[in-house]
Amino acid sequence: MKPKLVIFDFDGTLGDTRHNIVVTLQRTMSLLGLPLRSESECASTIGLTLEDSFRTMYPEIDEAKAKECVATYRDIFYQSIEELTPNLFDGVSDTLARLHAMDIKMSIASSRSSPSLLLFLRNMAIAKYFGVVLGSDNVTRHKPQPEPVLRSLAEYGVKPSEALVVGDMPVDVLMAHNAGVRCVAVSYGNATAEELAAVEADYIIDRFALLADIIEGM
């Protein structure tokens, strides 16, 4: 069955934000005097909320310190927005236009906060495709919990069998599974094809443009 709704992750799926995120995380660590984590350690937390990212890398920090990390990260992010503006991955703009022409509804379910998410979508000229945009501040139970997907389904009046999740991290795949929705995982983002296969993604693609082909074949 062709999906009526496609629910997209943003970081590592639509936007190539790895460098942006890693640099901002490491600048936060330096400013707060935390032990510096490597690029791969930072990138492995993409897909989690900011607070969960810092808690994963620093299990010993308390709630107050975790919140300080988040606030500092956001200050640095907005101060560096011009320097660290990300790009769309190859094929994203054309493929979104192709899905729109197929009358497929689209939404965003991201662990990024909604202000920066909306800013990027506008700057990348793709905001027009998404009727529902959910950031980390719009839900209470984050990935891999199914709330972001269930909220999108409810907004559009779509059944789980009529939807598809597209993401780049195991938490995206698990979120889809927990909501009873099929998932396409992209291997060009922040997780390997092996990591995505381990959590049983329904499809794994290495180019975004292949998504429209998969959907047309459903």
pLDDT digits (tens, 9 = 90+) for 163-172: 999 999 999 9
Query: Side chain identity at 105, as an amino acid letter?
Result: K
pLDDT digits (tens, 9 = 90+) for 43-100: 999 999 999 999 999 999 999 999 999 999 999 998 888 777 789 999 999 999 999 9
Quote the Cα angle for 190-145-194, to 5°.
Answer: 35
Cβ atoms of 120 and 108 closer than 8 Å: no
Helix (H, G, I), strand (E, B) or coil at 104: coil
Give, in order, the Cα–Cα distances in Å from 161 to each of 12, 108, 157. Answer: 25, 18, 12
| C-alpha span between 95 and 93 (Å, rounded) | 6
| DSSP-based helix, strand, coil % in the chain, nearest 5 | 50, 15, 35
Query: Side chain identity at 54, as an amino acid letter?
Result: F
pLDDT at 80: 86
| C-alpha span between 199 and 138 (Å, rounded) | 26
Task: Tell me the H-state helices in the chain.
Answer: 18-32, 39-43, 50-57, 63-79, 92-101, 114-123, 147-156, 170-179, 193-198, 210-216
| C-alpha span between 40 and 123 (Å, rounded) | 27
Q: Output Rg (C-alpha) for the chain, integer angstroms.
A: 17
Tell me the pTM: 0.90
pLDDT digits (tens, 9 = 90+) for 101-152: 999 999 999 999 999 999 999 989 999 999 999 999 999 999 999 999 999 9
| Tokens read off for 216 | 């047309």
pLDDT digits (tens, 9 = 90+) for 147-204: 999 999 999 999 999 999 999 999 999 999 999 999 999 999 999 999 999 999 999 9
A 10 A CB-CB count for 26 gives 18
